[in-house]
Amino acid sequence: MNDLLERYLQAVGRYLPAKRREDTLAELRANLLAQVDDQAEERGRALTDAEVAALLKRHGTPILVAIRYLPQRSLIGPALFPFYWFTLRRGFPLVVLVYAIVQAMGAVMAESAVERMGEALLRFPSVALMFWTVVTLVFVGLEFALAAYPMRSSWGRNWDPMKLPPVSDEGKSPTFATRMADVIVTGLLWFWLLAVPFKPYLLLGPGLQYLRSMPAGLSPEWRIFYLQIVVLTLLQLVLKVAALLHWNRRWQRGLALVIEAVGVGALAVMVQARTYFVPSGDVSFAGRLASINSAVNLGFKVALAISVGKLLWDVARLWKGAGRYGALALQ
């Protein structure tokens, strides 16, 4: 019987700090022996090994018993944890955005944009891990500092409710009149776009005469770009008409994102084109055209990088919003 008890105490002792081990085990031994004695008295005989084993099993696994004797420890305590969680939640989308913009800029400047984006995606988990590690370490440091030097200031009490920002309009739906005006403007824009190939001066104005006098013409890629813009505007028009009939913020925002993604695709097509103006007669003009094409390509690349960044930001906001609406729906 004693052998089993000593083995149990030895197992518990493995997890106890050396400083208090002997004292704790002696007390535990005394209490367990008293319990054994009590049961033996009840039964009128010494306990069998199986009965002692059952008693020890009820008392608890050695590691759990030992842990209860240790001081309560936490890397980030309950007072600081909400701030830690808030920082992670607020900071992570910003990390994603900055990383996406930097990588998108790098990708559009690189020879192979697709390969560069693939590499960026593969590298992202380590960036996210680094962010989590840094934030966690900062808060662990704060926890230790606060434990060592408890805050005596009135921080957290000196705030003024009068300084709270006004209620945001974000959750409010636009009025029917606003939505109707939006449909009309988008409709006019679409008809204007349809008219441009037949009446180019609607787009270029007096610049049309200058363009016609130049020994250069537009490359066929502009037609593809034009068609994409027409289709995108039409999609927007359809979406806005649908919003006029039935307003649902979540799916409207979802569809708007799809359209935004198609817009990014259109820009990507133009980035790949590289030739936007072609010589039409005077071959000596070809050298200047090359630098113009290069400048226009750079412009499209910058626009693409900004669009990708904005798309990711909107996706993150929709995602966050979905979580909030989901939580509200559960209430």
Partner 1 sequence: MKTFPTLEVFDSLRQELRRGSLILAVLGQLRSEHYGYTLRKALADQGLAIEESTLYPLLRRLETQGLLTSEWREEERRNKRFYRLSDEGREVLKLLVAEWQGIDASLRTILKEE
Binding site for partner 1 (CB under 8 A): 24, 26-28, 30-31, 33-35, 38, 59-60, 64-65, 68-69
Rounded least distance, CB 15 to partner 1, Å: 13
Q: Which is nearer to partner 1, 60 or 174 (CB)?
A: 60
Q: Nearer Cβ to partner 1, position 33 or 322?
A: 33
In the chain, the amino acid numbered 291 is S
CA 252 vs. chain centroid, Å, equals 21
For the chain, what percentages of helix, strand and coil (3-state, to nearest 5) are there? 75, 0, 20
How far is 223 from 129, CA to CA, in rounded Å?
45
Determine contact, residues 189/182, Cβ cutoff 8 Å. Answer: no
- Nearest residue (CB) to partner 1, 6 versus 38: 38
CB of 33 to partner 1, least distance (A): 6
> Is residue 34 classed exposed, middle or buried when 0-12, 13-18 and 19+ CB atoms within 10 A define those classes?
exposed
Measured from the CB of residue 273, what is the shortest distance to partner 1 in angstroms? 59
Q: Give 61 or 248: the residue with its C-beta nearer to partner 1.
A: 61
Question: Length of the chain, please?
Answer: 331
> With respect to partner 1, which residue has the nearer C-beta, 53 or 234?
53
Q: Taking the complex as a whole, how short is the minimal distance between the CB of residue 60 and partner 1, in angstroms?
A: 5
Nearest-angstrom CA–CA distance, 192 and 200: 10
Q: 99 near 119, Cβ under 8 Å?
A: no
* Least Cβ distance, residue 184 to partner 1 (angstroms): 53
Please say which residue, 68 or 172, places its beta carbon nearer to partner 1.
Answer: 68
- For partner 1, the closer of residues 69 and 92 by Cβ is 69
Shortest Å distance, C-beta 37 to partner 1 = 8
Q: Please, which residues bridge with residue 277 across strands?
A: 218
Q: How far is the CB of 330 from partner 1 (least distance, A)?
A: 14
Q: Degrees (nearest 5) of the Cα angle 156, 158, 163?
A: 105
Dist. CA 89–CA 240, nearest whole Å: 32
Beta bridge partners of 278: 217
Angle, alpha carbons 214-217-219 (nearest 5°): 155
Contact yes or no for 4/54 (Cβ under 8 A) = no
Q: How far is the CB of 74 from partner 1 (least distance, A)?
A: 16
**Residue 28 or residue 266: which is nearer to partner 1 going by CB?**
28
Instruction: Return the beta strands (E) in the chain as ranges.
Output: 216-218, 277-279
